[in-house]
Amino acid sequence: MISEKEYRYYQRLHQNRLNLVIHIIGSIMFIVGNILILIGLWNFIDFTQMIIGFSLLFIAISMQAIGHQFEPEQFEGFKGPLDFVKTFYLELIVFFPAFLFSPYFLENWNKK
């Protein structure tokens, strides 16, 4: 369960409408990329699917970096490589989809 405090913190880091659109696209790409990697592994190492999957992950992460440049409040940064991986998986697979369907997203989307 995501707490009110976590939603508010996330909302402060995602105020810009362009960044919100980038996150919608990036989150979908990240999820699809992971699914393709898993399917590629399941299909006895189908390199085509895995390469496409990893490419989608790379593009999605790059898009997030670009989108966050438009935000008035910046993310404090990663504490290391594991924190980088953990943060992206939590944000793009769990937290952003929940945020997208919350009143906090609409509040930021409707800001002028």
Q: Is the dihedral of CA 44, 47, 53, 58 positive or negative?
A: positive
pTM attached to this predicted model: 0.89
Q: How far apart are CA 36 and CA 59, in angstroms?
A: 14
Listed as ranges, residues in the chain with pLDDT below 70 are none
Any idea which residue has 């769990």 for tokens?
Answer: 94
What digits encode the pLDDT tens for the residues 60-91? 999 999 999 999 999 888 999 999 999 999 99
111 and 14 in contact (C-beta within 8 Å)? Answer: no
Measure the CA–CA gap between 79 and 84, rounded to whole angstroms: 7
104's tokens: 């906090």
Question: Is the separation of the CB atoms in 29 and 74 below 8 Å?
Answer: no
